[in-house]
Amino acid sequence: MGACHDMVREVSELYFIQMRKSVFTTPKSYLSFLAMYKDLYKKKYDEIDVQQSSIKSGLDKLLEATVGVGEMKKMLQIEDQKLRVASDETNKLIATLTIENEAAEKKTIECEATKAGVIT
């Protein structure tokens, strides 16, 4: 910061040479510069703090979503097992119904043959 103060003094000398107007840097100017720097630092720190809290919140939500996805995968596996059992039972029922349907068709054919024999 002292280098900045020296640079201002050098520019003030150039300004005096070109414009013939004096500009002085006093300890009060230096203190004003420090206060301005402190305010700027505080503002930037607050902005970074807000960004950090936003990022932390986002990461927490991602972690929560990861846990939720893991639980949903477990529930999906359980539901998949139930679906397989229900599928097997349905296939067995379809096979039974197919056999019974074939038997019913045979009976229908026999009845038709008997009916045709009785009518003639």
Distance in angstroms (rounded) separating the CA atoms of residues 51 and 15: 41
Amino acid making up residue 80: D
Paired tokens of 38: 């402190």
Q: What is the pLDDT of residue 41?
A: 97
Q: How far apart are CA 17 and CA 10, in angstroms?
A: 11
43 pLDDT more than 90: yes
DSSP string, the chain: -HHHHHHHHHHHHHHHHHH-------HHHHHHHHHHHHHHHHHHHHHHHHHHHHHHHHHHHHHHHHHHHHHHHHHHHHHHHHHHHHHHHHHHHHHHHHHHHHHHHHHHHHHHHHHHHHH-
pLDDT digits (tens, 9 = 90+) for 63-107: 999 999 999 999 999 999 999 999 999 999 999 999 999 999 998
1 confidence band (pLDDT: 50, 70, 90): low
In tens, the pLDDT along 28-40 reads: 877 888 899 999 9
Q: Are 3 and 35 in contact (CB under 8 A)?
A: no
pLDDT at 120: 64
* Distance of alpha carbon 13 from alpha carbon 21, whole angstroms: 9
pLDDT in tens, 46-71: 999 999 999 999 999 999 999 999 99
Per-residue pLDDT averaged across 14-25, rounded? Answer: 86
